[in-house]
Structure 1
Amino acid sequence: MRDPGGGPRVLLKRLRELMQQPLDPQARLDQIVRDIAANMVAEVCSLYVLRADSVLELYATEGLNPGSVHLAQLRLGQGLVGTIAAGARALNLSNAQEHPAFAYLPETGEEIYHSFLGVPVLRAGRTLGVLVVQNKTMRVYREDEIEAMETTAMVIAEMIATGDLARLSRPGLELDLRRPASFTGVSFNDGIGLGHVVLHEPRIVVTNLFNEDSDEETRRLESALGSLRLSIDDMLSRRDVAFEGEHREVLEAYRMFANDRGWVRRLEEAVRNGLTAEAAVEKVQSDMRARMIHMTDPYLRERMSDFDDLANRLLRQLMGRGAEDVASSLPKDAIIVARSMGAAELLDYPREKLRGLVLEEGAATSHVVIVGRAMGIPVAGQVKGAVSMSENGDAIIVDGEEGIVHLRPQAGLEAAYTEKVRFRARRQELYRELRAQPSVTKDGVGIELLMNAGLAVDLPQLNESGAAGIGLFRTELQFMVAATFPRAEAQEKLYRDVLDAARGKAVTFRTIDIGGDKVLPYFKGAGQEENPALGWRAIRLTLDRPGLLRTQIRALLKAAGGRELKLMLPMVTELGEIAQAREIIDREVRHLSRFAHHLPTSLKLGAMVEVPSLLWQLDELMKAVDFVSVGSNDLFQFIMAVDRGNTLLADRFDPLSVPFMRVLKQIADAGVRNNTTVTLCGELAGRPISAMALLGLGYRSISMSPASIGPVKAMLTELPLGELKALLDDNLSGTSTKVPMRALLQAFADDRDIPV
């Protein structure tokens, strides 16, 4: 009986000798296919390489017509070879001609062959070609023969990736090495970024493929696996478990995968077949990634990401490397490409060098997305395949307006985007010219334009944007980017820095709003909740854990000594919660007074209207607080019963619909009726057309991202507010023929040349 490891080992030994010989690329390929055919007792062995035009070209063959080399071609998806390349999966057939995908190429003379084994040539899960063996007799190739072919294909992939075969390609028919690729994801932050790829966790390039001693490589693999398992156990045992901003469940999954016998067995088998331990990890992971990349099940795709991260960690163990310090050597136009990352990790990169962020995962409410938005860089998320298709230094364009990413773009496309960036820059220059002008409508109504913030990186934009103040300072962001609860001293310093940077402009601090989708990895919350958005979060959590709120209130009171302090409570559901919070605040004021601390000159307490129950308590609410802020994101989510993070529903419900606009008008009217200031902070305020609608509904104070202030100000200076108010009153009252509100607003703006 044939030794199941003999074939691959003998073949790898021969390949290693070939790679060391001074042969030109074509001669080396010709000898490789001859050796494979001899090793596997096959009449035919052929190598097809994928070109940049999605055509598979025959590059070498043993057994087929040698005159067909570089002439025989198949499109991606055409024939058996094209099917393998398109699906990145092997085909093992006893009678190839019966397969529905079989395509006859007369120039090769292959119609006389029945048995067929084809494997994709893969690198980092990306198909670079196809390797095929064929026999006249009908047979099914054994597992060890498939393993030998896959291992050989890995070696050929390195030849392709290092450019060894580039000299064999004809002009205009280059290999699929620098092929342009475009991805459609989801826009998480507006803007356009042109630059070069910086992989957040760059792949380790394995250069030492062949082992000299299988036993020694097996010992290295076992040692690295042991170290990997210990490091995961150590992270799990820490009290402040925080792995790259993810939850404990991720580490538990990592531990399970690191002990998965099927995975380990495939690694050991690859080593026994002649690969080094690190080459075995690369091969097994590339095979697994290629098999799973087409799966639609989100759970399985998530597990693939976990396996990728685990394999990268194992490679670092084997090669003795720590985490790459890419931040210290960034290009000046860096665009970070990552599967996922923590908010704190993004802040590790120098802001002045960042031009954009591309995520394979994430949601609009992800912590890292919030930070990216605060940094003012374009962000595209849910860009599947971006990591495996990218290499460090690749040219890349991030279109944050459309959520589109162009990798290695062609010159014409890059020129078009360059012009688009210039146009945006000219428009931003116009907005800067508006910065010093008063925020007054065309018919003389003053509007307060405020900005949202939450981190120290936001503060310089207060003056740059021309904002009248900070309408929403998200204090929870400081907690989200930290590895442990920020100490009272750290909180106090941040709040004091914010007030100093404001230079007398109003700042509204929202008390810590965690829970739901804002999970702190070091805080044991409510556990798994079926509806986290409706669960233990925001004011509910801090009233149940008053120590959190007391510490924060004390830090805010001390930081605001000698100045006005504006506090806002999130997710208030009933007035009793305001009374409880006020008791805690009063207690902290008495405590600091007792020890003669410098207190704020005035303290104003407000509440956010984002829970629908407050709509039936508006008059009582306006009397119980000093000001009100509408959280339009959550309020819309709850009013319409739509998960704002669900991409399937993203465009289904319009916040500029009649029902929601009536709700917003009801709140604004209650503010006027009770002489209580009402501000709206949320995505609605940051888009000119929806900001225009808010002004027509009666809002005179809106808060938005700093980048939105210029466009919104350009809109309102051309807005005849009286005309718009009359139009909206008429259409929301139910007395006129209904036209979709967004279309009505757009027509109003177009007729009056209002830039929206």
Structure 2
Amino acid sequence: MGITLHGIGIGGGVAIGHAHVISHNEIEIAHYGIAEEDVPQEISRFDAAIRLARQELETLWGSIPEHAPAELGAFLSLHIMLLNDHTLTAEPHLIIEAQRCNAEWALKQQLDILLAQFDEIEEEYLRERRSDVIQVTDRIFKALAGHHIQPPAPSRPDSILVAHDLSPADMVLFKDTHYFAFITDVGGPTSHTAILARSLDLPAVLALRHAQALIREDELIIVDGINGVVIVDPDEQVLVEYRARQSDWQASQRALQDIRYAHPVTRDGVEIELLANIELPDDTALALAQGAAGIGLFRSEFLFLRDEDDLPTEDEQFDAYRQVAESMQGHAVVIRTIDLGKDKIPKWQEESDSPNPALGLTGIRLCMAETQLFRTQLRALLRASAYGKIKLLVPMLSNLNEVRQTRRHLEEIKEQLAAEGLPFDAEIELGGMIEVPAAALTVGAFLKQLDFVSIGTNDLIQYTLAVDRNDDAVSYLHDPLHPAVIHLLHHVITTADRIGKPVAMCGEMAGDPQLTTLLLALGLRRFSMLPAQLLKVKRRILDADLERLQQAVPALLLAEDANAVRTLLADL
């Protein structure tokens, strides 16, 4: 008799196939003492394992397929960076010396310390990086044991991969395989597995907890990546139903290719701007291929999270920003200034002892505290603006003084560049992220000093509802259709329209086709999302009748709970 498992759906439609289960054999960590004279040799053995693990990842990085998602290289680079971090490479040395223990036991103790620190963090993105640390240390353990990781070959043409977790290295090893779908016991909406699944547009369900233990090799399973459901050994009636759903989904995917070059215009003739979110300069090729009208969010953090201990130089930043600007062929590129602190801690930055980093020194607050860091980035951005249409976006705004200080820094740097005879766009636009309720409620005042705003719904929902959606105990409360969220979005959009300033959305809501009609009804006309989501959202736009949608706004604003909002949306 079949069983149904529930997890987190990562889109990609429906897949029906046979399970290929990757065993998750935890390495037993031995603990034994060593003589004092053997300490240098044990440290050398540990260092050799680090080098081997790094070499394996670098080899994999060099073999990434040409048309693989850009995110794959970014995540592999993160794992290589972790192998260069002193907390994994140097701290075990001290443990070996102090306790005169074997390298495996020293690494295990350091891993336990790191995981305990992760468990105290509430911010979603950083909690997801916990799995990266586990995967990297697992690779070191295997290197110490002399094991080499081999890619699991699919057992059937319709294989569905079942694993406890999948690392970026696993994804590269799968480059010559063809899986229908992925399912894992762990993972969340912002895990690398989720991001890669979206990029590949494959059905995936994560956080199933015990799927690997419950599913047998070659067992027939259904993966519903839309609803987050996995059905094991389905009966014939269920199979017939899901085959029809799969057929409908495949037909819709083929139809999406027909609108690749269609202009995003609603049925009643209103033009909508579709932009792309990117992480790395090379991602612009995919954005253009999917028909993006520009880059609505380029996260600049990748430059500050690299392997080196030092900050990126002005010229290094300039080269990266210029590459993006030039490759977009005249389309606008919105570059967000560094957003570090709450979820991404670079090697050069001391870890905060703040009890709640998400409410601490992060985003523009960190830039205001580290003015030289900020001014160096602003100089690089201004210099790059001479090579394309660059706009600046400041994250985590909460008060007007942050905008005033940013303006002051910009004007002073413009004067410097002019005195040095360096070209730049003197009229470069400055925008602000609306991602905390304080900024959303007072957006009118911000818009008087900004050229545009962009709504970051990921944080706006978190801060508005006081819910970490990655916390199993409260994740059911994280709902983008909560009336409070709807009211804030409506207020920001209508206020910007009244003042005559552009407003975009770059959070996950913008890329969710199930929410496109809602956002159109609320007045949003600029959407920015992962390139893989562009065509799905465009399909909804082409089918939308704005006049009809806008008639539903009064009822949407009167809805008392999220279920009432869903009921109204179902009729649109």
Contact in 1 for aligned 2:479/2:562 (Cα 8 Å): no
What is the CA–CA distance in structure 1 between the aligned matches of 2:323 and 2:234, rounded to whole Å? 42
Shift of 1:570: 0.6
1:320-352 CA-partner distances (Å, limit 9, x unpaired): x6x6486999x99996956474x7x57866878
User: Match for residue 419 of structure 2?
Assistant: 594
SS in 1 for 2:391: strand
**Residue pair 2:151, 2:170 contacting (<8 A) in 1 also:** no
Aligned to 2:8: 186
| 2:548 alignment partner, one of 714, 723, 727 | 723
Q: Which of 302, 316, 319 in structure 2 is aligned with 1:493?
A: 319
- Does residue 394 of structure 2 align to residue 572 of structure 1? no
Q: In structure 1, what is the Cα distance between the partners aligned to 2:377 and 2:170? A: 25
Residue 570 (structure 2) aligned to one of 746, 750, 756: 746
Q: Are positions 1:654 and 2:476 aligned together? A: no
User: In 1, Cα distance between the equivalents of 2:541 and 2:431?
Assistant: 27
What RMSD, in angstroms, separates the aligned Cα atoms of the two structures? Answer: 5.2
Please tell me the residue identity of whatever aligns with 1:664. Answer: L
Does residue 337 of structure 2 align to residue 515 of structure 1?
no
Q: Is the 8 A contact 1:182 1:406 kept in 2?
A: yes
Q: 2:519 aligns with which of 694, 703, 725?
A: 694
Residue equivalent to 2:493:
668
Equivalent position of 2:73 in the other structure: none
Partner of 1:581: 406
Provide Cα deviations, 1:184-207, integer angstroms capped at 9, x if missing partner: 5433564567799797999899xx
Secondary structure of the corresponding residue to residue 428 of structure 1: helix
Alignment gaps of 5+ in structure 1: 1-52, 54-179, 206-217, 268-297, 749-756
Per-residue deviation, residues 89-139 of structure 1 (Å, max 9, x unmatched): xxxxxxxxxxxxxxxxxxxxxxxxxxxxxxxxxxxxxxxxxxxxxxxxxxx
Aligned partner letter, 2:415: R
AA partner of residue 187 (structure 1): G
Letter of the aligned partner of 1:686 in structure 2?
G
Task: Write the deviation string for residues 66-93 of structure 1: whole angstroms up to 9, x where unpaired.
Answer: xxxxxxxxxxxxxxxxxxxxxxxxxxxx
Following TM superposition, by how much is the alpha carbon of 1:572 offset from its aligned partner in structure 2, in angstroms? 0.4
Equivalent pair of 2:80/2:307 in contact (CA under 8 Å): no
Q: Deviations over 1:651-671 (max 9, x none)?
A: 334322322211111111211
Aligned residues of 1:374 and 1:453 also touching (Cα < 8 A): no
Which structure 2 residue ranges, 5 or more long, are not aligned? 29-34, 53-77, 106-118, 121-127
Q: Is the aligned partner of 1:382 residue 2:204? A: no
Distance 1:327 1:559 in 2: 44
**1:503 matched to 2:503:** no
> Per-residue deviation at 1:701?
1.4
Which of residues 278, 295, 316 in structure 1 aligns to 2:143? Answer: 316
In structure 2, the residue corresponding to 1:633 is in which secondary structure? Answer: helix
What are the superposed Cα offsets for residues 367-418 of structure 1, whole Å, 9 maximum, x if unpaired? 6655664565555443546778999999998654344578999999999988
TM-score, normalising length from structure 1? 0.56
Matched residue, 1:703: 528
Length, aligned pairs only: 512
Residues 623 and 698 from structure 1, CA distance in 2 versus in 1: closer, same or farther, beyond 3 angstroms?
same
CA spacing shift, 1:364–1:472, aligned 2, 3 Å: same
| Alignment pair present for 1:468 and 2:290 | no
In the aligned structure 2, how far is the partner of 1:204 from the partner of 1:492? Answer: 45
Answer yes or no: is the 8 Å Cα contact 1:492–1:559 preserved in 2. yes
- Are the counterparts in 2 of residues 358 and 379 from structure 1 also a CA contact under 8 Å? yes
The CA distance in 2 between the partners of 1:707 and 1:241, in whole Å, is 24
Determine the C-alpha separation between the residues in 2 that align with 1:350 and 1:492: 35
Shift of 1:536: 1.8
Query: What amino acid is aligned across from residue 354 of structure 2 in structure 1?
Result: E
Change (3 A) 1:312 1:538: closer
Higher RCO (C-alpha 8 Å, min separation 6)? 2
Q: Cα deviation per residue 1:713-735 (whole Å; 9 max; x = unaligned)?
A: 2222222212221221244258x
SS in 1 for 2:448: helix
Q: What SS does the aligned partner of 1:568 have?
A: strand
Determine the structure 1 residue equivalent to 2:125: none
| Separation in 1, partners of 2:566, 2:7 | 25
Give, in whole Å, the separation in 2 of the partners of 1:392 and 1:434: 39
- Shift of the alpha carbon at 1:630? 0.9
Instruction: Identify if the C-alpha distance between structure 1 residues 444 and 200 changes in structure 2 by more than 3 Å, giving closer, same or farther.
Output: farther
d(CA) in 1 for partners of 2:563 and 2:232?
41
Specify the SS of the correspondent of 1:437: coil
Q: Specify whether residues 409 and 613 from structure 1 end up closer, same or farther in structure 2 by C-alpha distance, changes over 3 A only.
A: same
For 2:210 and 2:255, the matched residues in 1 are separated by 38
TM-superposed CA distance for 1:463, in Å, is 2.7
Distance 1:651 1:561, change over 3 A: same
1:527 counterpart residue number: 352
CA pair 391-489 structure 1, distance change in 2 beyond 3 A: farther
| Alignment pair present for 1:433 and 2:223 | no
**Structure ID, larger Rg:** 1
State the distance in 2 between where 1:623 and 1:614 align: 13
Sequence identity percentage: 27
Q: Do the aligned partners of residues 307 and 711 (structure 1) sit closer, same or farther apart at CA in structure 2, a change above 3 Å counting?
A: closer
In the TM superposition, what are the counterparts of 1:23-102 in structure 2 within 5 Å? none
1:676 shift after superposition: 0.7
Q: How far has the Cα of 1:607 moved from its partner?
A: 0.2
Partner of 2:58: none
1:552-571 deviations in whole A, cap 9, x for unaligned?
32332233314322110011
Aligned partner of 1:462: which letter?
Answer: A
CA contact (8 A) 1:609 1:631 kept: yes
Aligned partner of 1:613 in structure 2 is 438
Write the distance in 1 (CA, Å) between the matches of 2:275 and 2:135: 43
2:261 is paired with a residue of what secondary structure?
Answer: coil
Opposite residue 501 of structure 1, the aligned amino acid is S
The question of whether the paired residues in 1 share the 8 Å contact of 2:469 and 2:475 is answered with yes
1:278 is aligned to none
Which of 352, 360, 365 in structure 2 is aligned with 1:540?
A: 365
1:448–1:468 CA contact under 8 A, matched in 2: yes
Alpha-carbon distance between aligned partners in 2 of 1:385 and 1:225, rounded to the nearest angstrom: 37
1:310-389 to 2 correspondences below 5 Å: 313-314=140-141, 316-319=143-146, 324=149, 339=165, 341=167, 360-366=185-191, 369-370=194-195, 373=198, 380-384=205-209
Give the superposition deviation at 1:243: 6.3
Change (3 A) 1:712 1:315: closer
Matches within 5 A, 1:621-632: 621-632=446-457
| Alignment partner of 1:680 out of 494, 505, 508 | 505
The residue type paired with residue 589 of structure 1 is K
- State the alpha-carbon separation in 2 of the partners of residues 250 and 192 from structure 1: 40
SS at match of 2:143: helix
**How far does the alpha carbon of each residue in 1:130-174 deviate from its partner, in whole angstroms, 9 at most, with x for none?**
xxxxxxxxxxxxxxxxxxxxxxxxxxxxxxxxxxxxxxxxxxxxx
